[in-house]
Structure 1
Amino acid sequence: MTNKLAQLLVIPSLFVAYSSIAQSDLPAANQVSISADKQQAQLKSNVGIFESNVEIIHGARRITADRLEVHKRDKLGENKQLLIATGNPAYFEERQADGSIMSASANEVRYDVAERYLTLIGNAQVTQAGQKINAKSISYDMQQQLISAQKDEDSDDRVHTILVPVENKKTKSKGQP
């Protein structure tokens, strides 16, 4: 009887131990990984500059660019960071809660980390849930899910949006194409 009880206690405790080890091996959600061919830091002004073949990974976000400036600002005792990525184009992507990917690209991508605010300047494009917006500049408040796009004042090119119809799963299950 004690052998069966011991087996019943050992198996769950091994599972708990394994899962805690597996979780400790995972990178922390707040960990930021930046790789580039060149790095500089302006310590007095709290600016890090990364150049050539830049990639930053922070949780569910990934940015690739030719150049990245990381500005750290202290405001009201709270650390804030502004990431300015430039490239031809620079890319930003984030995995959403539903597993889909929101991607953005522009000549300049500005991301305010604390506010979750994305500003795209020059040949801007945002793709999310099959929808695509192209414009000269796009502002995206990711927290509020508000997006604003505008054309260049000196151009006839207007904002262009492509909407993809969402398939109804109920219709598909009834045997309709």
Structure 2
Amino acid sequence: MTNKLLKLFIVPALLLSMPSYANTAEATPNANQISISSDTQQGQLKENVGIFEKNVEIVHGNRLIKADRLEVHKRDNLGNDKQLLIATGTPAYFEEKQPDGTIISASANEVRYDVSTRTLVLNGDAKITQAGQKIQAKSITYDIEQQLINAEKDEDSSERVHTILVPVEKKLKGDEGQP
């Protein structure tokens, strides 16, 4: 009986090992704390899968995920801190503050986040925004570490990939104090 109870705590422990990309200067004492809330939670212990459903919200460091359903898959062959998060919803939402202060926000019918490679795969009405730049497509793959993005339209649709680029204004030397 004790072993079964111990295993029930494995799924939340899996999430504890997700790396936080918090800027250490801004980190709070609870920066490594993970807050998971949902209407239902269950664990499939043999498959190392945690399932969170209805009004799911996870806050961990500078990362926020909101979804109707979230699956956390632990992959033993990759080590202790290697998870795949699959969030679905109408839409599912992912947000992460980067070390440079910019915020990546992404939404889609399905958001897959590979913790080990820091790769986002967005499927179905995919949208991603960072530093004012926006991309909309049927599917988007974004390697956050390498800053590589690939967006594709639906083959059966006439809607194309849409990108909005916002020019970045450089500060002139001596204007640092000006609004």
Hey, what's the Cα distance between the residues in 2 that align with 1:172 and 1:156? 49
* Shift in Å, 1:32: 2.7
- Equivalent position of 1:89 in the other structure: 91
Q: How does 1:56-95 map to 2 (within 5 A)?
A: 56-95=58-97
* Shift in Å, 1:171: 8.8
Answer with 142-151 or 78-87: which moved more. Answer: 78-87
In the alignment, structure 1 segments of 5+ residues that lack a partner are 1-24
Hey, what's the Cα distance between the residues in 2 that align with 1:149 and 1:113? 20
- Equivalent position of 2:9 in the other structure: none
- Equivalent position of 1:26 in the other structure: 29
Hey, what's the Cα distance between the residues in 2 that align with 1:39 and 1:83? 15
SS at match of 2:51: strand
Hey, what's the Cα distance between the residues in 1 that align with 2:161 and 2:56? 29
The one-letter amino acid of 2:152's match is Q
Q: How far does the alpha carbon of each residue in 1:48-88 deviate from its partner, in whole angstroms, 9 at most, with x for none?
A: 11001100112211100010001111115454210000000
The one-letter amino acid of 1:26's match is P
Q: How does 1:84-123 map to 2 (within 5 A)?
A: 84-123=86-125
The structure that is helix-richer by fraction is: 1
Shift >6 Å, 4+ stretches: none
* Shift in Å, 1:172: 9.9
Q: How far does the alpha carbon of each residue in 1:126-174 deviate from its partner, in whole angstroms, 9 at most, with x for none?
A: 100100000000000111110100000111111000001112322994x
* TM-score, reference length from structure 1: 0.79
Q: How does 1:1-177 map to 2 (within 5 A)?
A: 26-29=29-32, 31-170=33-172, 173=175
- Equivalent position of 2:16 in the other structure: none
Higher relative contact order (CA 8 A, sep 6+): 2
| Aligned residues with identical type, % of pairs | 71
- Equivalent position of 1:20 in the other structure: none
The 3 A distance-change label for structure 1 pair 172 and 119 is farther
The one-letter amino acid of 1:164's match is V
Count of residues in Structure 1 that have an aligned counterpart in Structure 2: 149
